[in-house]
Structure 1
């Protein structure tokens, strides 16, 4: 199972690289490539986390709980930063592009925080 996450991660990484290449060649930032990027990060994180999550013990539960807890505050921080920069006009995003950014930040934050918690505990 862990090799499956690694294979999917590399396939998604190649796809994400292609989407970024196409978007940059079109002289526009490819916001649509952020979601596959976050799924790539999720696959690599699950490759690392699967051996710990396979055993249903207290350590696994603590990694999940602490990872979600810390990612909650990080996501709140992202929302404050995004709302502030949109409010004062530093960035100008469409609603769809904003959803790409928020979705990808949320997915990446949750799984990266779980990897950090797995390294700490």
Structure 2
């Protein structure tokens, strides 16, 4: 039997501006999964990330973003076209879900003592 207390491993996000592809389509909705040890290994082996440390952010994000709009794949080269506000958003989103293992807080109602979850909402999310 699977426990219903297993935290989620994938999280929906909405970019504040959106990535514009070569055809002019805007991609704002996406899904990011939790990072794995393999993601870090791939990052350490990436030559460009080793020579240009700032590029490691794009490599890392391209590994964990499983869906971005209708794009068939998410690569570091595609992510080079992000607006800076969207890049900052994705970096913060990545940090939140991976450092806390979930994108919500457990809280308790001060009046009735009922426990419930409150989703973290970053700028740009609805």
TM over 0.5: no
RCO higher in 1 or 2 (8 Å CA, sep ≥ 6)? Answer: 1
TM-score under structure 1 normalisation? 0.28
TM-score under structure 2 normalisation? 0.27
Q: Which has the higher strand share?
A: 2
